[in-house]
Amino acid sequence: MLAAAATGVPLCTPQFADARAGHYATVAGYAMYYEEYGHGRPLVLLHGGLSTIAASFARQIPVFARHHRVIAIEQVGHGHTADAKATFTYAQMAEDTAALLQHLHVASADLVGWSDGGIIALVIAHSHPDLVRRLVVSGANVDVTGQRPEDVQALHDAIDGSDTQAATVESKVRQLWLTPVVLKRSDLDQITAPVLVVAGDHDIIRLQHTIEIFEALPHAQLCILPGTGHDTFQSAADVLNPLILKFLGGT
């Protein structure tokens, strides 16, 4: 959550796209954008809230594509994927992602998600266990208490104050971040895929919440990156990339 605020990335603005890699598929009645790189076992990249493929994973795609078929997705209202009228929910984004993978004839994949993308990855692992082989989540929370109280209050203030355009993407994402419960601890306990749980030691997600997620998952490993904030995939790529590839069995 709060990816844009943490990184200073322009909200939902496409950063770049390799014209040869970019594609659209009709999902849930709208055109969902994705990029494909490399060959091998499918690896799905799920970006952060109010972010894009490039802003979230520019430092991962060239490395991961040496070992995997990388499928990077932009969710509704983000990057190259246009907004839709409906409000945003993690459950619907998870279903959209699963539908896209079905469209691409991907029966099983590794998922790597940052921030909101990590939350979506956990939801997919719970609701579509056969689709997920392994997953890596960084800066994810499963309920609103994973955020610091002052950040939650700032979201409420924005929605109740100057943020009156309830239909805009930014407003809808703020509402998404206030989702009371995305997954319960009992839901996490049902996730059978191995999970690498990542966070920065200065992440905007409370460290105790990250540890609670790790402890609730039956087959999890924990990686806390020293001297790192929420932007783990950007600022700690040199450390994180080889750890992810080792976890996924890519090297």
Structure confidence by residue, pLDDT tens digits, 44-79: 999 999 999 999 999 999 999 999 999 999 999 999
User: What predicted TM-score, i.e. pTM, was given to this entire model?
Assistant: 0.92
Cβ-based neighbours of 175, under 8 Å, separated by 6 or more: 87, 88, 159, 166
Task: Report the pLDDT value the prediction gives residue 6, as an integer from 0 to 100.
Answer: 38
Which range, of 3-7, 129-133, 172-176, 179-183, averages the lowest pLDDT?
Answer: 3-7
List, for residues 227-246, the tens digit of each pLDDT value: 999 999 999 999 999 999 99
In angstroms, the CA 233 to CA 101 distance is 23
Assess whether pLDDT exceeds 70 at residue 199: yes
The domains found in the chain, sorted by start residue, are: 18-248 (3.40.50.1820)
Assess whether pLDDT exceeds 80 at residue 251: no
